[in-house]
Amino acid sequence: MKTNNTARVERWVTLILVFGFVALTGSFVAVSPLAAQKKTKVDTPVMTCGTRISGGFMDLILCAPVGTGATGAPAGFSIQWQTLQDFNTLGWPTDSNCPLDLYGNPTCGASFCKAGFSGKASGTSYNLRSGECVTVRIGDLLFDNGASTSPGCAGALDCSTHYVFRAFAHASKSLKRSDFTSTVQCTTGNCSDRDCTVTQEYWRTHDPIVLVTELSLGNVTYSSSDLVSILNQQANGNGLISLAHQLITAKLNVRSGARCPSALVNIDAADALIGDLVIPPFRNDSLDPSVTSNLVIALNNFNNGAGGDGCPLLCSTN
């Protein structure tokens, strides 16, 4: 039989044990620690400048954070950029659509651009798992089928220019979009007097007149403005146009100082194959892609810094 003193002691012991359990586990609090830590946003990615930087483009490396419970970037991401000069004047816009302010003034500079990346492109997935990284080439996005850019933003960047970049991961089915990354500053390279190459995308948006007033493709001579028209012409299965794109770029690279013996051989072969044909849009001449493919691949390799021994790399600051 228990005495009153014994009963009181047992009640106190019980209370101590109960409150000790609550203190250790949080089981009886209104909001548990796990609920308080539940994520509402996708993790903010990390972005850095890549090592391959030319006069017309630069590589950016974007990584999804790693760690227990890390979200990755399961729905892809977006990148925004502008020149440092515009950034110093106006900063980043609060509305990425850049509406005018109440006084009719612009809220972002003319160089402000944005691009979204999701799904797969050329074997690369932009939907990142935790710890995964991907390299994006800003200034060479025209034919990237995983990218969607604002008007005028798929082409080449300006030479010797400071740019700033920021990015965010897209919202997923259960989480809101991430916060923006910190602002990253990178600088494009010099486009003149170089023993290196730039891609055709650079010349799509930069008038070749800085190097030449005219250029021969086959036996026909074209003005610098004609060259821009040809570069903006979609190939649509016409091997003559595809070859002309690479031939123009290769000749301008050589004129800029890029040296590659095999490229000179391929340039001569391309001129011979084109002969008296006139490149669209100036006439509807054509070549079967099966006839031009080897030369297109070889010249494309040269223009992209993959020409092999004795050939230069893409223009780079590293």
* Exposed/middle/buried for residue 211 (C-beta within 10 Å: 0-12, 13-18, 19+): middle
**Do 114 and 153 form a contact (C-beta atoms < 8 A)?**
yes
| Per-residue confidence (pLDDT) for residue 190, from 0 to 100 | 67
Taking residues 113-122, report their average pLDDT: 83
| Per-residue confidence (pLDDT) for residue 55, from 0 to 100 | 63
Give the tens place of pLDDT for each residue, 59-104.
899 999 999 899 999 999 999 999 999 999 999 999 999 999 899 9
Our CA dihedral for 10, 12, 13, 15, rounded to 10 degrees, sits at 120
Q: Where are the domains of the chain?
A: 4-36, 46-187, 200-303
**Do 208 and 227 form a contact (C-beta atoms < 8 A)?**
yes
> The dihedral of CA 169, 171, 174, 178: what is its sign?
positive
Query: CA nearest 252: which of 199, 296, 294?
Result: 199
Which amino acid belongs to residue 272? A
More confident residue, 17 or 160: 160
* pLDDT interval class at 122 (50, 70, 90): low
> Which phi and psi (to 5°) does residue 113 adopt?
-135, 160
Among the listed ranges 17-26, 94-103, 149-158, 219-228, which one has the minimum average pLDDT value? 17-26
More confident residue, 16 or 109: 109
CA 63 to chain CA centroid, Å, is: 13
* pLDDT interval class at 24 (50, 70, 90): very low
What span, in angstroms and rounded, lies between the C-alpha atoms of 110 and 98?
A: 10
Alpha helices in the chain (DSSP H): 4-25, 33-36, 84-90, 200-205, 224-231, 239-256, 261-274, 289-303
Got the DSSP string for 44-113?
A: PPEEEEEEEE-SS-EEEEEE---STT---BTT-EEEEEEEHHHHHHH-S-SSTT----TTS--SS-TT-E
Assess whether pLDDT exceeds 90 at residue 312: no
Query: CA nearest 280: which of 253, 254, 246, 245?
Result: 245
Strand partners, 60: 49, 136
More confident residue, 296 or 259: 296
Hey, what are 269's tokens?
A: 């072969």
DSSP annotation of 315? P
Assess whether pLDDT exceeds 50 at residue 224: yes
**pTM over 0.75, yes/no:** no
Assess whether pLDDT exceeds 60 at residue 16: no
**Do 296 and 248 form a contact (C-beta atoms < 8 A)?**
no
Question: What's the mean pLDDT when you consider all of the chain?
Answer: 83
Among the listed ranges 8-22, 125-139, 185-199, which one has the minimum average pLDDT value? 8-22
User: Is CATH 2.40.50 what the domain over 46-187 is classified as, yes or no?
Assistant: no
What span, in angstroms and rounded, lies between the C-alpha atoms of 187 and 205?
A: 18
Assess whether pLDDT exceeds 60 at residue 182: yes
Give the tens place of pLDDT for each residue, 48-57.
998 766 667 7
How far, CA to CA in Å, does 183 sit from each of 46, 49, 82, 169, 245?
Answer: 10, 11, 11, 15, 35
More confident residue, 15 or 128: 128
Taking residues 22-37, report their average pLDDT: 46
Task: Give the β-pairing of 124-125 and 133-138.
Answer: unpaired
Give the tens place of pLDDT for each residue, 267-311.
999 999 999 999 999 999 999 999 999 999 999 999 988 888 778
Which amino acid belongs to residue 229? S
Our CA dihedral for 245, 134, 42, 88, rounded to 10 degrees, sits at -60
